[in-house]
């Protein structure tokens, strides 16, 4: 946890001096205007303190504003009442540089889709009225045109996020993605150290967190909980949260054939862990998911019934790396995205046979948001409001920690479009998959 601590302290103090320097400059200007009204040294001192105080308040207000900008209620609000889709997860490639044991969403035998094809599909997704796009895979960063794709999505007006294992992320690539307009990057981190099940660990990612210090891209961390990762899941959560990064760890899901590829872990321990996250969420900690989804996962563990209507294929949908329209990451169709109409989408507004035990949390999340916006948003707003007193306290003690600042942001409501292509129904549900649109 102390990794990079002294370097950070040095940078923080350098940053602090920069603020003092800037305030001194500003104070010179203000003092010039006030000259003759107060004794010079006194005037100068007061103006320096005043300017620094003003800067502090502005930064604090900015932080508070960012806390509440997450859902972009006005933009998303339209999609809560009309018939158009809110978000799409686009597989920009099936290829991946890793081989997580629980994952069924990569295939290195397939070539990357071409930039032209991807652009054509992206245009079509936008024409359908989709507001947010999550670039997923496979591993999106292995696609040679990923920066161009981000730029294109932004030019078309999408709120754009990217989900990555982070292994190929460099400072230069992050800057290029930022310049292209990427708003949210979700890095998947399952453990503190790599294992045979998953190599996605903080050992690789911790040194890269520093890249986000001055970046406009909002960083989120997401981890998968299974028997292998559970002993380190709390540490993953702590590591992210202690750095001010919105962090989430969530239960592993089954594959499209309803099989769990890895041991899920002991139920009681999982339940205790989820309970502790619900409590922390209520206290206002930056657990990067809604209380509704945490409670949903607890119900999954307990085998309790949850009343909801799956909006996958309607308010959110997936497009495969072959351009096929997928209802979600687990329910695929053979229909090409270029042939999909708004009526097709609306036809998927119905309860699904695979709902029981569904682990596609982004679909559950979007569905609950559309179904019960006041309830879901109300709790989130209360949770975020609880962070404000601690922001005030921090603003009085430290200048700003840029890493924290960057991580707080969630500028375009991409909270719900994290690209996580999470799972399907559990092995014993006996549901029909591969439905046609
Ligand atoms: C399929 S990956 C694609 C993006 C990128 N390769 C990555 O790992 O972040 C998207 C997300 O799905 C998660 N995921 C994959 N298989 C899963 C499973 N069986 N259960 C839960 N999450 C899973 C990954 O951990 C990752 O956060
Ligand atoms: S979870 Fe991501 S990194 Fe792991 S194998 Fe799947 S696509 Fe690759
Ligand atoms: S697996 Fe889940 S998200 Fe996908 S269609 Fe079924 S219920 Fe909806």
Distance 118 CA to ligand 2 centre (A): 20
Q: Atom 7 (ligand 3): residue with closest C-alpha?
A: 355
Per-residue pLDDT tens for 280-327? 999 999 999 999 999 999 999 999 999 999 999 999 999 999 999 999
| Residue 419 Cβ contacting ligand 2 at under 6 Å | no
DSSP structural state of residue 208 = G
97: phi then psi, degrees, rounded to nearest 5 = -90, -5
* Cα–Cα distance, 92 to 243 (Å, whole number): 30
The confidence score (pLDDT) of residue 75 equals 60
The confidence score (pLDDT) of residue 360 equals 96
The confidence score (pLDDT) of residue 370 equals 87
Positions of the chain with pLDDT lower than 70, given as ranges? 1-76, 376-377, 379-380, 383-437
For residues 251 and 300, is the Cβ–Cβ distance under 8 A? yes
Question: What's the predicted TM-score (pTM) here?
Answer: 0.78
Look-up of token digits 């790599």: 194
Tell which residue, 352, 357, 358, has the closest CA to residue 329.
358
Q: Which long-range contacts (CB under 8 A, 24 or more apart) does 111-114 make?
A: 112/142, 112/143, 112/144, 112/321, 113/321, 113/322, 113/323
CB atoms within 10 A of CB 256: 18
CA of 313, closest atom in ligand 3:
5
Angle subtended at Cα 199 by Cα 193 and Cα 205, rounded to the nearest 5 degrees: 65
Distance 187 CA to ligand 1 centre (A): 10
The confidence score (pLDDT) of residue 398 equals 52
CB atoms within 10 A of CB 93: 26
For residues 197 and 227, is the Cβ–Cβ distance under 8 A? no
For residues 310 and 320, is the Cβ–Cβ distance under 8 A? no
Element containing residue 342 per DSSP (H, E) = helix 342-347
CA of 106, closest atom in ligand 1:
1
The confidence score (pLDDT) of residue 63 equals 53
How many residues can be counted in the chain?
437
* Cα–Cα distance, 78 to 76 (Å, whole number): 5
CA of 198, closest atom in ligand 2:
4
Angle subtended at Cα 45 by Cα 41 and Cα 46, rounded to the nearest 5 degrees: 120
Look-up of token digits 């079509």: 124
* Cα–Cα distance, 181 to 154 (Å, whole number): 6
For residues 160 and 153, is the Cβ–Cβ distance under 8 A? yes
| Collapsed DSSP state (helix, strand, coil) of residue 192 | coil
């Amino acid at each position: 946890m102390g990794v990079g601590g002294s370097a950070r302290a040095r940078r923080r103090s350098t940053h602090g001096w920069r603020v003092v320097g800037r305030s001194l400059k500003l104070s010179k200007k203000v003092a010039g205007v006030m000259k003759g009204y107060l004794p010079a040294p006194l005037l100068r001192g007061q103006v320096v303190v005043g300017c620094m105080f003003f800067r502090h308040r502005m930064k604090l207000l900015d932080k508070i504003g960012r806390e509440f900008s997450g859902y972009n209620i006005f933009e998303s609000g339209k999609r809560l009442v009309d018939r158009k889709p809110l978000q799409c997860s686009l597989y920009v490639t099936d290829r991946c540089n890793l081989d997580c044991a629980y994952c069924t969403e990569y295939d290195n035998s397939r070539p990357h889709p071409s930039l032209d094809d991807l652009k054509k599909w992206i245009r079509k997704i936008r024409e359908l009225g989709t507001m947010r796009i999550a670039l997923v895979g496979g591993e999106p960063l292995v696609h040679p045109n990923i920066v161009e794709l981000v730029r294109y999505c932004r030019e078309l007006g999408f709120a754009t996020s990217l989900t990555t294992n982070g292994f190929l992320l460099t400072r230069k690539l992050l800057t290029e993605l930022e310049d292209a307009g990427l708003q949210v990057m979700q890095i998947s981190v399952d453990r503190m150290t790599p294992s045979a099940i998953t190599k996605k660990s903080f050992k690789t990612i911790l040194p890269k967190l520093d890249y986000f210090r001055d970046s406009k891209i909002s960083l989120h961390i997401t981890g998968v909980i299974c028997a292998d990762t559970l002993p380190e899941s709390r540490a993953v959560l702590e590591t992210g949260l202690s750095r001010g990064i919105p962090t989430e760890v969530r239960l592993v899901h089954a594959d499209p054939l309803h099989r769990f590829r890895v041991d899920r872990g002991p139920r009681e321990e999982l339940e205790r862990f989820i309970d502790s996250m619900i409590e922390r969420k209520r206290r206002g900690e930056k657990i990067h998911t809604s209380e509704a989804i945490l409670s949903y996962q607890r119900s999954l563990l307990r085998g309790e019934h949850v009343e909801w209507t799956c909006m996958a294929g309607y308010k959110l949908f997936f497009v495969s790396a072959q351009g096929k329209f997928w209802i979600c990451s687990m329910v695929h169709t053979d229909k090409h995205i270029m042939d999909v109409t708004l009526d097709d989408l609306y036809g998927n507004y119905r309860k699904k046979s695979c709902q029981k035990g569904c682990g596609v949390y982004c679909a559950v999340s979007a569905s609950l948001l559309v179904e019960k916006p006041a309830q879901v948003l109300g709790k989130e707003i209360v949770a975020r409001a609880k962070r404000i007193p601690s922001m005030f306290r921090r603003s009085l003690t430290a200048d700003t920690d840029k890493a924290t600042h960057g991580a707080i942001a969630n500028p375009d409501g991409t909270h719900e479009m994290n690209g996580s292509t999470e799972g399907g129904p559990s092995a014993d549900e006996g549901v029909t998959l591969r439905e046609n649109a």
